[in-house]
Chains A and B, each alone.
Chain A
């Protein structure tokens, strides 16, 4: 597999808590260029999707609402969509298209 990692998209920065959730006490894990980097959750607390499975458009039509937001990519002629409502709970999909490793991120 080609050793390319690619970040497919990004939308909302740092919104990992549903409304009403209590924020944990932030822990400084690094200081970069004079600015603190905080860790709020352990790694993997928002589980990324590995080895993703895909369904055909026809099957998907039964699960998806017309106005449901998606992240879409076309690579090497292959189109893939990821429901953003689903990505809310995962934020990252470790995927592979056309021999390249890609991260679809939300």
Chain B
């Protein structure tokens, strides 16, 4: 990416300025998800949509998405031995620490990861997107887990959490909210190219 004001070059994966006046600056990544219109609309009934041309009826890039051999334009470098480059992963990072989680690891389960010293919980939310939160309240790790019988997410205090919103919905911590961590749905070749030291959680 490039900004028009200074011509600084920015990495779309890391959000960091790689060359130019702002070199070294870091954009804040926001919680944003990728899902289908149907799932998004149901979970967010008041949503608005970027005005769209009626002519747009498919993706230009379907052949690129479908071709396992096409990775970027040229000379991409990534951790090819770990998994195929076109594997879709969900990436999260805090400072230099990064984790990539596969779809399989998120099937009906929570993923717990440590990004440096920070405990992070990742899961698939009601709207179909993948979200991550710092699993701490007031500086204390909360010991979060999924009860597979009831499908409820609880912590060591007996509080119940909604990991679509990060809100505690009942129990001693009711009303608390977990801090969100941005999740990037991304091909493995791109994530591992920019975060060669990334952890991987798969099944």
Which of B9-17, B104-112, B113-121, B195-203 touches A? B9-17
| Complex-state Cα separation, A24 to B40, whole angstroms | 38
Residues of B within 8 Å of A85, CB to CB, are 56-59
Tell me if A1 counts as interface (CB < 8 A to partner B): no
Residues of B within 8 Å of A43, CB to CB, are 2, 4, 7
Tell me if B63 counts as interface (CB < 8 A to partner A): yes
Number of A-B contacts defined by CB within 8 Å = 205
On whether the beta carbons of A80 and B50 are closer than 8 Å, the reply is yes
Residues of A within 8 Å of B19, CB to CB, are 30, 32, 37
Residues of A within 8 Å of B76, CB to CB, are 13-14
On whether the beta carbons of A72 and B127 are closer than 8 Å, the reply is yes
| Complex-state Cα separation, A93 to B19, whole angstroms | 22
| Complex-state Cα separation, A13 to B191, whole angstroms | 9
> B42-78: contact bitstring with A at CB < 8 Å (1 yes, 0 no)?
0011111111111011111101110000101110100
On whether the beta carbons of A13 and B48 are closer than 8 Å, the reply is no
Tell me if B140 counts as interface (CB < 8 A to partner A): no
Contacts A66-B37, A72-B33, A86-B53; is A10 near B47 (CB within 8 Å)?
no
A43: nearest residue on chain B (CB-CB)?
A: B2
Tell me if B80 counts as interface (CB < 8 A to partner A): no
Contacts A6-B30, A7-B30; is A72 near B44 (CB within 8 Å)?
yes
| Residue positions of A touching B, CB distance < 8 A | 4-19, 23, 26, 29-30, 32, 37, 40, 43, 49, 52-57, 59-61, 63-75, 78-86, 88-89, 92-93, 102-105
Pairs of residues from A and B, 4 with the lowest C-beta to C-beta distance, nearest first: A60-B49, A13-B190, A79-B44, A79-B47
